[in-house]
Structure 1
């Protein structure tokens, strides 16, 4: 499988923004350490409604589901955030949507 760009969305539950950010801060470094993503710079941004938009490039997406470290992060994310689809964002309905840069 060729590398693929992925857009992951995380909308924090009420009062869980800091907990979610801590998990997001672990996410890409863990994926990179396990060689699941490429060296392409990951982007983190935020929608007007507070949803985080994380963009990175998989080497091979299916392999991530086999790693307990990744599963631990994903399971913890599901406890503090919803995982909405891209079309749920107001910005997605516009040509050239803009997001607040985080990193």
Structure 2
């Protein structure tokens, strides 16, 4: 069964462009390994510059197997160097009845 993922990355100071570059690589890397559907991801930005990515895993099994693929693990290590994973409830937009974001794609 397909699963929707929503993840937020708060850029480290001075790493905004590096984060944007990584986000552009993420879905193609996951697609290369057959882990996500062909549906395009939503790449969004909050008022404070946090990037929110919404995409669809192909299955629960695909999601779990991502942790075993070296180039995906490397990409995620790069994310850790330029950003902090942020729970959605910490986004100021999440407090609104209709959360609004700036689309980046």
TM-score, L = length of structure 1: 0.96
What displacement does 1:63 show? 1.0
Which residue does 1:28 correspond to in 2? Answer: 27
Which residue does 1:11 correspond to in 2? Answer: 10
> 5+ unaligned residues in a row in structure 1: which ranges?
none
Moved over 6 A (4+): none
CA RMSD of aligned residues (A): 0.7
Which residue does 1:69 correspond to in 2? Answer: 71
SS of the residue aligned with 2:24? Answer: helix
What displacement does 1:37 show? 0.4
TM-score, L = length of structure 2: 0.94
The 2-side partners of 1:72 and 1:15 are apart by: 21
> 5+ unaligned residues in a row in structure 2: which ranges?
none
Equivalences, count: 102
